Amino acid sequence: MDFELKTLAWAEACRLKCDALVALVTEQASGGADPLSRLVQEARKAGDLETKPGKLLHAYRADGISATRLVLAGGGDGSGKRVQAAIHAAMASLKGRAVKRLVICLHEAAQDDALRAAVTATAESSYVYVATKSKAEGRELQRVTIATPAQQPGHKQTFEAARAAAAGIEYARELGNLPPNLATPTRLGEEAKKLAKAHALTCEVLGPREVERLGMGSFMAVARGSEEPLRFIVLQYKGAAPSQPPVVLVGKGITFDSGGISIKPAGEMDEMKFDMSGAASVLGVFRALGELRPAVNVVGLIPSCENLPDGRAMKPGDVVTTMSGQTVEVLNTDAEGRLILCDALTYAERFKPAAVVDIATLTGACVIALGGVRSGLFASDDQLADALLQAGESALDLCWRMPLDDEYGDGLKTNFADMANVAGRPGGAITAAKFLQRFAGKFPWAHLDIAGTAWKGGAAKGSTGRPVGLLLQYLSMQAAAPVATKTPRRKAAAR
Ligand code: BES
Ligand code: MN
Ligand code: ZN
């Protein structure tokens, strides 16, 4: 889908020929004399139009308006969050209509957050999965014009960033939604190669032999139960001087998680195809980086394999040796995410990173803790945590900080190895993070548990593309204010 940004007063927007025009009506709506403004004033006076987000008023071939369909959409105070809600409502009301050409008129005072939300919310609500359907229906929308009455200095840049983010999010969703027989580790490797070629990125895809040579005994143990060969993907985007230490993103790439020998119940097991959402988000971020080219260095690491039961599969009780040399007793083969991430975290050390952020659909416990609204954020470094929290707020891709007190790690003790891969059920998202932290001592580290946010279940089942928006916002903040600041990094106290 094509997005364009135009500076257009409402009077001019009235004359745009299109299939649908969505006009944001905020609390401060202006009192212009053009047909659109007059319509808004009359409707509001009559009490037929509220400015609350979600409230809509439709018109067909309205007088003085060239658009076939007009949707007046309450936009509240005009903030990003309200604009997002307004556009979701307006787009839902246009579902099934033959809208190829759409114009969205923002309010006079639209700031960067509103513009960003307009682009990402439009892209989000018009996405339709067709990859494995026999007919590609529902993808009519071709061109979206975002019209702002007053162009502000940052608008152009914000718009370009939002457009690239939307493309990255869509790409992550598409990969996430693919069935597990297609989205294999091999396919993810091919996608990374394709991305690298199209966007001048560096890409290396390692297979079983190279991974064995690296000593990733933990990652290999997870892959052992599957016929699909594992892949370890290394992507690099170089936007800043080589002397700038990179941000390393590590994405969990389990393309199907059956639980292994500790097998999961059958109900909803299909949703474990989404267990590569962390990997998909890293690929989505790189796609956007390739388009935007911000002044920052980024490395993407993706350990990818299936977790299946088999005669050769790892068993409860097995002890594996990680790349770091630490040994792990596998008490539950379903806690496989941490077993592949730990080796990727050790591999990350070689980049002498400014920060490492891993992204993983890691625990059902995180879904219980935070539901589908906010991702779980764990960090060993307050500055990194604050930056990620703030990025999430700006991108409307929220997260919430969780604790890392050392006592939470006590349950990982075992008599037979340096640690076990699971503790008890209480605080399961935190004990998983404590496990990872043992492999992240050499750099500022954060962990995003996206188990609740990466996909939706039920009738709206599908990937969300989160947290591509958050990560891109964070990375562009790093480009604006380089990672190597003069103030010494604060270590997190007892977290
Ligand atoms: N991929 C799952 C986590 C998951 C479960 C995400 C449900 C979303 C919904 C992960 O590999 C897993 O199975 N975790 C276990 C850990 C447990 C064995 C300690 C879990 O959460 O049940
Ligand atoms: Mn699992
Ligand atoms: Zn998993």
Q: Cα(111)–Cα(108) distance, rounded to whole angstroms?
A: 9
pLDDT at 491 over 60: no
Can you give the pLDDT at residue 480?
A: 77
Q: How far apart are the C-alpha atoms of 27 and 25, rounded to whole Å? A: 7
Q: What is the rounded average pLDDT of the residues 175-204?
A: 98
CB 323 within 8 A of CB 272: no
Which whole-number Å values give the CA distances from 301 to 77, 170, 383, in the listed order?
41, 20, 23
In the residue annotation, 17 being an active-site residue is answered as: no
- Round to whole Å and give the CA distance between 27 and 74: 8
Centroid of ligand 3 to alpha carbon of 345 (angstroms): 17
Q: Is the CB of 332 under 6 A from ligand 1?
A: yes
Q: What is the pLDDT of residue 490?
A: 53
Between strands 231-238 and 297-307, the pairing is antiparallel
- Chain segment 38-53, per-residue pLDDT in tens: 999 999 999 999 999 9
* CA gap 408, 427 in Å, rounded: 8
pLDDT band at 448 (very low <50, low <70, confident <90, very high): very high
**Greatest CA span in the chain, whole angstroms?**
79
Q: Is 257 in the pocket of ligand 1 (CB under 6 A)?
A: yes
Q: Which amino acid is residue 227, in one-letter code?
A: E
Could you list the beta-strand ranges (E) of 86-218. 101-105, 143-148, 202-206
Which positions ≥6 away from 472 have C-beta within 8 Å? 161, 164, 165, 168, 285, 288, 289, 292, 395
| CA distance linking residue 61 with residue 32, whole number of Å | 20
Torsion, Cα of 26, 80, 169, 257 (10° steps):
-110
Q: For the chain, what is the mean pLDDT?
A: 96
Mean pLDDT of 90-100: 96
pLDDT bracket for residue 494 (50, 70, 90): very low
Residue 81 and residue 31 in contact, taking contact as beta carbons nearer than 8 Å: no
Res. 360: pLDDT tops 70: yes
Quick one: pLDDT band at residue 277, thresholds 50, 70, 90? very high
User: Of 269, 276, 334, which is best to mutate to test ligand 1, by the most ligand atoms within 8 angstroms of its C-beta?
Assistant: 334
Across 90-94, average pLDDT = 98
List the structure tokens of 315: 């068993």
Q: Which domains does the chain have, with CATH numbers?
A: 2-150 (3.40.220.10), 167-485 (3.40.630.10)
Give the pTM.
Answer: 0.96
Q: Catalytic residue among 264, 315, 461, 489, which? A: 264
- What share of the chain has pLDDT > 70, as a percent? 97
What is the distance between the alpha carbons of residues 332 and 412, in angstroms, rounded to a whole number? 12
For residues 329 and 252, what is the distance between their CA atoms, to the nearest angstrom?
20
Strands (DSSP E) contained in 155-264 are 202-206, 231-238, 247-251, 253-257
What is the average pLDDT across 324-337?
Answer: 99
Give the span between the Cα atoms of 279 and 282, in whole angstroms: 5
Residue appearing with tokens 């370890």: 232
Task: Give yes or no: 52 in active site.
Answer: no
